[in-house]
Amino acid sequence: MASKHYMEAHEAKKQGRPVTWITGYDPVEILYAMDIAVVYPENYSALCAVTQTAPKFIEAAERMGYSSDLCSYARNTIGTTFEEGAPLGGLAPPDFLVVARKFCKTHVKWWQVLSRRFNCPLFIIDAPYVPEDEKEYHVEHYVSQLEDLIAFLEERTGRKMDYDKLREVVKLSDRASMLWDEIMALRKNSPCPIGAADVLSCMFAIVTLPGTQTAVDFYERLLSEVKERVKNKIGVIPEENYRLLWDNIVLWYNVGLSNYFHKYGAVFVLEPYTMVWSGRLDPSNPLESLARKYMAPFINLKNRADVLVELCKQYRVDGAVMHSNRSCKFLSLLQYELKDILMEKLGIPSLIIEADHCDGRAYSDAQIKMRIDAFMEMLG
Amino acid sequence: MINVFEDLVSNRHKNAAEWKNKGRKVFGYFCTYVPEEIIYAAGIIPVRIMGGSEDITHADVHLPSYICSFSRSCYDLALKRCYDYLDGVVFPYTCDTIVSLYNIWKADIPTPYVGFVDPLCAKTETARKYFREEVARFKGSLENYLGKEISEDSLRESIRTYNENRRLLKKVYELRKGPQPLLSGVEVLDIVRSSMLTPKDEHNSLLGSLLDRISEREDPPEPGVRILVSGSVIYDPEVLRMIEDSGALIVADDLCTGTRYFWDLVNTNSSPLVGIADRYYERIPCPCNYPPEKRLEHIMTLVKDYDVEAVIFTLQKFCDPHLFDMPFMEEKLKEAEIPSLRLETEHVTAPLGPLKTRIEAFLETIR
């Protein structure tokens, strides 16, 4: 599905259809409604890490002066725009760039670099940070940003936004979200029917294709498959002793790490990172519901802790593994607080392991597994 | 005449405790995007929260190692109760680390008032409007906390005092222009930092007497290779001292403890709140939000006006916004045939020997 998506963007480029690059948690529905080909450098970087090709491009970016302390997704994509041999022929070059500034300033800085690299215009959806609870002025501002975005796209493409089409896209996106939520909810069952590795390999469509029929079809099939497993009590592993939570982005160069826990009878039933991508939308009020979906009010500590505690109860979590991700400060910096909160409120112990989501060069499998062993014995 | 500024920096916690004893309220703030004028107009003394030169002993239990030592040091001091005197603390969303620190501070450090302002990224009219509203909301929340109104007159008075400080600091910078600068970079760093740590009216008097007497100075700094330093916050002068001890003299800067703090004035023709908001919206930008072009222009102007021979970037390790801008900055300086050196610094306790060798080798190539 992913390779097809990236090849389609190359095809679009050839046919003269506009191509844009966006980041996770940007209102892609608007771009799909305007028939723009969209690629996600973050997802693409994950793909490079999975195929073990990322180090070459990461090193290329570092040679150009991009510090090795910068986000490895950013280094990898910047590298692929300069270095030959990127998977799937690299990313189709953008005609313009779109990025939302919400909780990750790295996105904005990285897109500024890309805008200079491709000498193409950049539109920043200037989303407000929601420090506590979402307020009406946050939503109103986000909506006005979406209106500015539509004006920008109309100018770049020479086409008008078709609001009926947008409502259709929003409806499909809502349907995909509903299906995704339903699939995730089935993981509350014991035995858990679908584990972290499978969820990760199935999340591409909810991240990059919300608003397409492809995503809906895919999740309808997946849902019936997972339901079937629940009905027949087929779990990820035969005997489930521990139900675990994974926090933060995974180690894409070592996706199999979650399987290592199986020998302890432990299975990941919950990853906030895979769950956050869905968001219910109202087709009769597309812009406002997109604003509410993408403003990410859950990201501040209070909301994030509340959500996490509630999920841990619902999914009956016994322990948490938190990836302290050198490349993602906003997801990682609050983990020590979250660790304390999980212990205080629910008595759930956490293991914090430091690694990186895309740059595996410094990763030591033996060391990480030693820490996992110690944690699992402690849980015992 | 100059030591007074250094003392204000070293004694900042002691001074704040004394203001408190006299019944004043003291607020801390992070970064240079908090509209201080409003805090000052409310009769509160704003002080910038800075790291210290002490070892980081408490913060590492709560924060990962891969964030800037400035943030780790600030939070460490808070955990060690050095900032217990604060009645309030205000954070802007500048970078992901500072906004995380906002969340952590609110959860862990008991402070009567914790405020937040959000300067946006895009240079659009929509963003300008949002920031004007954000500044008004900040004023409202302060009034709510104080239980009294912040009058239009007090805002105007505060703007006047702040603009005066900015004009005086610019005059101080003028003293660095000729072949014999009257102040060293380390001294100017203390002057600017003390401005962030002292009530502005007091600081204005101190700057006034400095400007009156500086021409009599008998021991001006030794001239050397004329350097502009660029980076974020310098909370420990050690690196600047090392540069100046190696045969260079810092004559200008692009620092948030330097020109980026005070270069732009509030326009007094608009209403006070609009003037304040627009000043922060239009100022020489910090790389957290904005692309580097305008900052580069600022550097280029300073290079010309201050006869700068070379630029030294003094960056905090792990400071993403600056690090993203670096390849562009270095390339543009190279095109303009201005030599530049990139230094990444960790907390003050990190070994400084290798940095010194690099500085000396760099200065060698310029002489």
**A336 close contact with B: CB closer than 8 A:** yes
Structure tokens at A295: 């403003």
**B103 close contact with A: CB closer than 8 A:** yes
B 77-96 residues with CB < 8 A to A = 93-96
Which three-class secondary structure state does DSSP give residue B21? Answer: helix
Map tokens 């592993």 to a residue. Answer: A237
CATH of domain A166-379: 3.40.50.11900
d(CA A29, CA A6): 18
Nearest chain A Cα distance for residue B313, angstroms = 13
Residue A116's closest chain B neighbor by CA? B328
Q: What's the ipTM?
A: 0.96
- Output DSSP code: residue A186: G
d(CA B312, CA B243): 9
Neighbours of B55 (CB within 10 A): 11
Do residue B107 and residue A337 have CB atoms under 8 angstroms apart? yes
Residue B344 phi, psi dihedral angles, 5° rounding = -110, 125
Please tell me if the domain spanning A2-161 has the same topology as the one spanning A166-379.
yes
Report pLDDT for B349.
57
Q: Are A38 and A22 in contact (CB under 8 A)?
A: yes
Q: Environment class of residue A76 by beta-carbon count within 10 Å: exposed (0-12), middle (13-18) or buried (19+)?
A: buried
d(CA B259, CA B230): 10
Chain A residues in contact with B97 (beta carbon < 8 A): 329, 333
Amino acid at A25: Y
Which residue in the set B107, B118, B291 is minimally distant from A112, CB to CB?
A: B291
**B288 close contact with A: CB closer than 8 A:** yes
Which residue in the set A65, A108, A324 is minimally distant from B121, CB to CB?
A: A108
Pick from A81, A99, A109, A300 the residue to mutate for testing the B interface (most B CBs within 10 Å): A109
Going residue by residue through chain A, which has 380 residues, state the pLDDT in tens, using 9 for 90 and above.
889 999 999 999 999 999 999 999 999 999 999 999 999 999 999 999 999 999 999 999 999 999 999 999 999 999 999 999 999 999 999 999 999 998 899 999 999 999 999 999 999 999 999 999 999 999 999 999 999 999 999 999 999 999 999 999 999 999 999 999 999 999 999 999 999 999 999 999 999 999 999 999 999 999 999 999 999 999 999 899 999 999 999 999 999 999 999 999 999 999 999 999 999 999 999 999 999 999 887 789 999 999 999 999 999 999 999 999 999 999 999 999 999 999 999 999 999 999 999 999 999 999 999 999 999 999 98
Do residue A128 and residue B118 have CB atoms under 8 angstroms apart? yes
Q: At what angle do helices B272-282 and B152-174 cross, to 10 degrees?
A: 40
Which residue in the set A109, A330, A354 is minimally distant from B64, CB to CB?
A: A354
Chain A residues in contact with B330 (beta carbon < 8 A): 65
Provide DSSP, B100-131. HHHHHHHHHS--SEEEEE---S--SHHHHHHH
Domain ranges of chain A: 2-161, 166-379
Q: Are B338 and B329 in contact (CB under 8 A)?
A: no
Q: pTM of this prediction?
A: 0.96
**B334 close contact with A: CB closer than 8 A:** no
d(CA B21, CA A164): 65
CATH 3.40.50.11890 fits A2-161, yes or no: yes
Do residue B122 and residue A124 have CB atoms under 8 angstroms apart? yes
Which residue in the set B100, B101, B320 is minimally distant from A109, CB to CB?
A: B320
Do residue B130 and residue A126 have CB atoms under 8 angstroms apart? yes
Closest to A343 (Cα-Cα) out of A333, A355, A335 = A335
Do residue A126 and residue B116 have CB atoms under 8 angstroms apart? no
Chain A residues in contact with B95 (beta carbon < 8 A): 105
Q: Are B194 and B9 in contact (CB under 8 A)?
A: yes
**CA dihedral sign of residues B172, B177, B178, B183:** positive
Going residue by residue through chain B, which has 367 residues, state the pLDDT in tens, using 9 for 90 and above.
899 999 999 999 999 999 999 999 999 999 999 999 999 999 999 999 999 888 999 999 899 999 999 999 999 999 999 999 999 999 999 999 999 999 999 999 999 999 999 999 888 899 999 999 999 999 999 999 999 999 999 999 999 999 999 999 999 999 999 999 999 999 999 999 999 999 999 999 999 999 999 999 999 999 999 999 999 999 989 999 999 999 999 999 999 999 999 999 999 999 999 999 999 999 999 999 889 999 999 999 999 999 999 999 999 999 999 999 999 999 999 999 999 999 998 887 567 788 999 999 999 999 7
Amino acid at A228: E
**A65 close contact with B: CB closer than 8 A:** yes
Closest to A31 (Cα-Cα) out of A208, A197, A175 = A208
**A237 close contact with B: CB closer than 8 A:** no
Q: What is the pLDDT of residues A232-273, one digit of tens each?
A: 999 999 899 999 999 999 999 999 999 999 999 999 999 999
A–B: how many Cβ contacts below 8 A? 126
Nearest chain B Cα distance for residue A131, angstroms = 7
Q: Are A259 and A364 in contact (CB under 8 A)?
A: no
Report pLDDT for A297.
75
Do residue B118 and residue A108 have CB atoms under 8 angstroms apart? no
**A126 close contact with B: CB closer than 8 A:** yes
Nearest chain B Cα distance for residue A189, angstroms = 34
Q: Where are the beta strands (DSSP E) in chain A?
A: 19-21, 37-39, 96-101, 122-126, 242-247, 266-270, 319-325, 350-355
Nearest chain B Cα distance for residue A255, angstroms = 23
Chain B residues in contact with A354 (beta carbon < 8 A): 64-66
Do residue B120 and residue A70 have CB atoms under 8 angstroms apart? no
**Rg (alpha carbons) of chain B, rounded to whole number:** 20
**Rg (alpha carbons) of chain A, rounded to whole number:** 20
Chain B residues in contact with A101 (beta carbon < 8 A): 120-122, 289
d(CA B250, CA A297): 45
Q: Compute CA A243 distance to the chain's CA centroid, rounded to the nearest angstrom.
A: 22
**CA dihedral sign of residues A285, A288, A291, A292:** negative
Show contacts of B57-62: CB within 8 Å, 24+ apart: B61/A336, B62/A336, B62/A337, B62/B104, B62/B108
Structure tokens at A108: 């904005």
**DSSP element (H, E) containing B257:** none
Closest to B229 (Cα-Cα) out of B305, B332, B351, B315 = B315
- CB-based contacts of A337, cutoff 8 Å, min separation 6: A301, A305, B62, B103, B104, B107, B108
